[in-house]
Copies of this chain bind each other. A is one copy, B any other.
Amino acid sequence: MASTAPPLLLLHRLPEFSLPFVSVLQTEFTVLDPLADPPDPSFPALSSSARVVLCVGPSPLTSDDLDRYNAVECVVGSSAGINHIDLAACRRRGVRVTSGGDAFSDDVADYAVGLAIDVLRRVSAADRFVRAGSWPVQKEYALGSKVGGKRVGIVGLGGIGLRVAKRFEGFGCIISYNSRHVKSQVPYTYCANLVDLASNNEILVVCCALTNDTYHVINKDVMTALGKNGIIVNIARGAVIDEKELVELLVRGEIGGAGLDVYEHEPHVPDEMLKLDNVVLSPHRAFLTPDSFAALEKVVVGNIRAFFSEKPLLTEIELDI
């Protein structure tokens, strides 16, 4: 009997939007939910023998969690950035980790370009202007800045960064990038230093993972090098940018503008930003479309199935930290 019973699948505090997933998973797995209401009396016993834990959404998975679920061999993550999972602890315990892979990459890249156009051409500001009834009254309107042909610097040329680059190429933009390693197969200029990347470009798009190495890597020096005609787009993680410095530079007009989908202390957005006309603010949703969910479901279910059938995981992370 035991060999044909559905494998145990442990959930780790799932946000509401992931509920459709669960019903799919329940057809194949015995799904263990720590937040079940009413609580599942078999949870304590079963959770200690579950080999896979699924983490959808931003809830941290800590070393303590892994202590509690001590049979876990694989953490199936669901986002592009997996900084909320304690990767060092996973590595120490020999726990494998998967990410959402490229399920969200197209959507995030689309959104990054949308934010850049919006900031430069003041699209949301124009929408506010028209909705406020200002057009018939105040006929002239502050000009934006051209997008086509601009120099775009990309921080992190992974699945998302590459897609951002490809999109900007269609606008006649010139692409350069910074990344952990030089990518020999891309036609873009590598720039080893972020201050140089910023000073050589007019649009800086932050696409890298948040790690110990990238925390606040976009600091005052980098942003000052970008300058008052430069704009910054962040669709990665808030803490890649030193947000306090960003706010000050924006308020003083020392950088040209920002399109932000992520913040250091979400859902908190610094008050000063809410008043600025040269920023476009978005509630961490660059990755969110019905299509990206469908793609994610495929990756998540695929990884869980692969684990239990001892096949290669689809989107395993290299734990070289």
Bound-state CA distance A189–B143 (Å) is 35
Convert A99-123 into 0s and 1s, putting 1 for each residue whose CB lies closer than 8 angstroms to a CB of B: 0000000110111011101100101
Which residues of B lie under 8 Å from residue A13 when comparing CB positions?
Answer: none
Contact A111 B139 (CB under 8 A): no
Contact B130 A123 (CB under 8 A): no
Among B109, B113, B128, B283, contact of A126 (Cβ-Cβ < 8 Å): B283
Convert A146-177 into 0s and 1s, putting 1 for each residue whose CB lies closer than 8 angstroms to a CB of B: 11110000000000000100111111100000
How many copies of the chain does the oligomer comprise? 2
Say yes or no: is A187 at the interface (Cβ < 8 Å to chain B): no
Contact B109 A148 (CB under 8 A): yes
Which residues of B lie under 8 Å from residue A283 when comparing CB positions?
Answer: 126, 129-130, 135, 141
Which residues of B lie under 8 Å from residue A143 when comparing CB positions?
Answer: 285, 288-290
Bound-state CA distance A16–B282 (Å) is 35
Say yes or no: is A145 at the interface (Cβ < 8 Å to chain B): yes
Which residues of B lie under 8 Å from residue A285 when comparing CB positions?
Answer: 126, 141, 143-144
Can you name 25 A-B residue pairings with CB atoms under 8 Å? A106-B146, A106-B172, A107-B147, A109-B148, A110-B117, A110-B171, A111-B117, A111-B123, A114-B114, A118-B127, A123-B123, A124-B124, A126-B283, A126-B285, A127-B281, A127-B282, A130-B281, A131-B281, A135-B283, A136-B268, A141-B288, A143-B288, A146-B292, A168-B170, A169-B170
